[in-house]
Copies of this chain bind each other. A is one copy, B any other.
């Protein structure tokens, strides 16, 4: 990487910790975590540093920690052993890394203990690192979803920073978005020649890998879109199937994109598929247009619910007054999740903190079927990046449940619904930055209209 980039990095890290210092007046230690064994100690999963560490340290350093106090940054990292040079090459020394990230001091990990008094932290997901955190801080740590004392104060301060993206984050987020758009185009183009879902997945992930990025979450590429987090890729692609692809890249510094498109395997939507697709797209477009500083994100969710309900009434699947249908969660029989979530260093940003990031102070998850899955319930403000992802699904476990069928017998025309049997799952998802003036769709270069999608799929047909 060029020196120029490190100048930018140093600058932004400095700004971030200055902002943190305005919010809290105690020291903070953040751990990066370790490589986790897959088969045996030397064969690990690809290392992913803790997002909180990445935010303030900038680089994905393994087995490292940083200490922040009053705007100062100290790095704790052991130099690689001479024998590791053979296997992993020459690594920059601690002092060099410290300079790259603008650290005020650099120490070995063993020196962390002596500089840990009264420090707050955020508990890591990895149990061994968590144990190390407890040992160094000489106290037990609550899990990251339920922080207490100064750890809670730190959590809230970090959230308030990470909620709104700065210029450096946006550079990374835009890169991840651009590569994700290219991956989806490649997936569409590969569909006519692919035999199974895995063939399309390969074409999409290949774009991400070739840009030296990784995927931000396990790719969903499935003809069973009704399985929300499907991780199977073995189903054959058959004429008449819709393929749902929810695939996003993660930049080398850890920033995510999250995009879904749904397209017909044959290159052509059936009339029923097209009809439902257009309802979902109407919700997608209306919700994006609604994004603006000061808007309640939950209202956008409810807007999607109304548009979905109205569309399904028009198609003869639901019957009744739209507001009433939403009130009784009839939309949620088909639109079974929330309209979206925060995006940042995590694809569901800061979900390691439970709902502390997603929900404003004093708010909690609704017990309503049609609201409880909403991951974000805050007033939007500039710099937030959110997904908008309405969907329509026919989940057998929901729609074949006899209690549900009885409960909604006056509102769902079950025989009409049967005509739409070739629509198992449709989702359309983009990443939208809340800006002073309203919004910017970071993934807007990827078409959404049914006709455009058909054209893209037809490319290599």
Q: Which residues of B contact A397 (CB under 8 A)?
A: 82, 85-86, 90
The answer to whether the Cβ of A4 comes within 8 Å of any Cβ in the partner chain is no
Query: Interface digits, A342-367 against B, CB 8 Å rule (1 contact, 0 not)?
Result: 00011110011000000000000000
Query: Interface digits, A172-214 against B, CB 8 Å rule (1 contact, 0 not)?
Result: 0000000000000000000000101011011101111111100
Give the residue name and chain of the B residue nearest to A393 (CB).
B86
Contact status A210-B198, CB under 8 Å: yes
The answer to whether the Cβ of A164 comes within 8 Å of any Cβ in the partner chain is no
Q: Which of B36, B41, B88, B89 is A36 in contact with, Cβ under 8 Å?
A: B36
Q: Shortest distance in angstroms between A13's beta carbon and chain B's nearest beta carbon?
A: 21
Q: Which residues of B contact A127 (CB under 8 A)?
A: 127-128
Number of copies: 2
**In whole angstroms, how far apart are the Cα atoms of A230 and B90 in the complex?**
10
Given contacts A40-B346, A209-B202, A218-B46, are A89 and B227 in contact (CB under 8 A)?
A: yes
Contact status B212-A39, CB under 8 Å: no
Q: How large is the interface on A (under 10, 10 to 19, 20 to 34, 35 or more residues)?
A: 35 or more
Q: Which of B48, B199, B202 is A39 in contact with, Cβ under 8 Å?
A: B48
Q: Which residues of B contact A2 (CB under 8 A)?
A: none
The answer to whether the Cβ of A408 comes within 8 Å of any Cβ in the partner chain is no
The answer to whether the Cβ of A43 comes within 8 Å of any Cβ in the partner chain is yes
Q: Which residues of B contact A125 (CB under 8 A)?
A: 37-41
Binding site for B on A (CB under 8 A): 36-46, 48, 51, 82, 85-90, 125-128, 194, 196, 198-199, 201-203, 205-212, 217-218, 224, 226-234, 336, 345-348, 351-352, 395-398
